[in-house]
Structure 1
Amino acid sequence: MNGQVLVITGALGALGRVVSEVALARGARIAGIDHAASHMQPTPNRIELGGVDLTDAAQAKSAIDAAAAHFGRIDALINIAGGFAFEPVADGDSKTWQRMYAINVLTALNASRAALGHISKSNAGRIVNVGALGALKADAGMGPYAASKAGVHRLTDALATEWKGKLTVNAVLPSIIDTEANRASMPNADFSTWVQPGELAEVILFLVSDAASAVTGALIPVRGRV
């Protein structure tokens, strides 16, 4: 990563922590943003900005600007912040749809808007979003979540087209990520078929790297063994 400055949203979650640690081990400098509180003291290579509601555009801008001020620049934004809800369409609540849109689409939108001015100044500007394989065809109970992640896919398309030649914008589409929360919600599943956070981190960081300089507008399935 050679000193590359990465902003990672959802940095205190299961996937965000792994992406941060792998990137740091490869020489990146990390600004982690999360809704959860953080008590980590800033270091030359890492800061954590906790208590940030990325569904609020003003809070997103404040956090992104703080990251840019700390490191002097931003080279890449990795939008991991998001959430999941399982609810049938007919028996569901419209508030669930609104909540899924807010925490999956608005978080990525607000962070991207706030970061574009900074990232476009980099010689290797990157945005990587986390979509979902399940958004390509929604199964029963997946309507609100799948619709919101489909919005992330279309956001990726639009940004990639609008900023072509200035930065790259791509998304990874995982199946089920092997996390404690997912294991608790699906205790009878075959965990060995799921995507390991480290496996997904490798794809994300490839898209951030110089090796992916010609890749933009891609929606990359990361199926694991599902």
Structure 2
Amino acid sequence: MEGKVVIITGASGALGKIVAASALAKGAKVAAIDHAASAEKPTADRIELGGVDLTEPAQANKAVDAAASHFGRLDALVNIAGGFAFETAVDGDPKTWHRLYALNVLTALNASRSAIPHLAASGAGRIVNVGAMGAIAAGAGMGPYAASKAGVHRLTEALAAEWKGKITVNAVLPSIIDTAANRASMKDADFSKWVRPEELAEVILFLTSDAASAVTGALLPVNGRV
């Protein structure tokens, strides 16, 4: 990871913060993109681009180009930005399906489309998306979320096929991530079985590294101990 330039979307979230910190610790340079505003000043190793709506292609382009301009190049894109809702298919709001498609699929699509010209020029370009084990077989109340994450899986496969030999494109499929929000919503669960963000970050950053140069189109389960 030494010297590699990595864009991380959703960088202010529970997983995004861990991935960004781990990438910096491994010697990478990080462009942190998030919908939340940021007043942090750029440094030689990190730039924060806040207030970005990645569901809008123009905003995605502007943020990605700003990151590439700051560091002079891009080597990897980690698409973490997304959303979740628990609603049954019949009783839930149909708008939720549109909202989660935008938050999970369009953010990854727009960031990828914006980054690909830069990644192709890198010679070792990487894209890593965050899918979900829950999208393989949707449970009750998981319809809109599972459908959107299944879209992320298919986007990963399509981009991997289209850019084979030039950019690797893979996705990690976590089960339940051990975050404060998930613990609060599932107080009676056995948290020890969940995937720790640090564990997931290691898999994500492996896929952005030179060590994963022969891996593309993979949907990699990261189940924890579930």
Q: TM-score, normalised by structure 1?
A: 0.99
3-state secondary structure, aligned to 1:48: strand
1:4 aligns with 2:8: no
Distance in 1, Cα, partners of 2:184 & 2:40: 28
Q: Report the equivalent of 1:55.
A: 55
Q: Report the equivalent of 1:223.
A: 223
Q: Report the equivalent of 2:73.
A: 73
1:213 aligns with 2:213: yes
Distance in 2, Cα, partners of 1:83 & 1:200: 18
Distance in 1, Cα, partners of 2:192 & 2:8: 27
3-state secondary structure, aligned to 2:122: coil
Q: Report the equivalent of 2:147.
A: 147
Counterparts in 2 of 1:65-214, with a 5 A limit? Answer: 65-214=65-214
How many residue pairs align between the two structures?
226
Which consecutive unaligned segments of at least 5 residues does structure 1 have? Answer: none
Distance in 2, Cα, partners of 1:50 & 1:108: 17
Shift of 1:39: 1.7
Shift of 1:222: 0.2
Shift of 1:188: 1.0
Q: Report the equivalent of 1:46.
A: 46
Shift of 1:204: 0.2
Distance in 1, Cα, partners of 2:72 & 2:6: 12
Which consecutive unaligned segments of at least 5 residues does structure 2 have? Answer: none
3-state secondary structure, aligned to 2:121: coil
Q: Report the equivalent of 1:22.
A: 22
Shift of 1:31: 0.1
Shift of 1:92: 1.1
Shift of 1:169: 0.1
C-alpha deviations, 1:122-168, integer Å up to 9, x for none? 12100000000000000000000000000000000000000000010
Distance in 2, Cα, partners of 1:124 & 1:11: 22
Q: Report the equivalent of 1:34.
A: 34
Shift of 1:180: 0.8
Distance in 1, Cα, partners of 2:121 & 2:35: 27
Q: Tell me which amino acid in the other structure corresponds to 2:58.
A: A
4+ aligned runs moved over 2 Å, structure 1: none
Shift of 1:38: 1.1
Distance in 2, Cα, partners of 1:22 & 1:92: 38
Shift of 1:33: 0.2
Shift of 1:205: 0.5
Aligned-residue identity in percent: 75
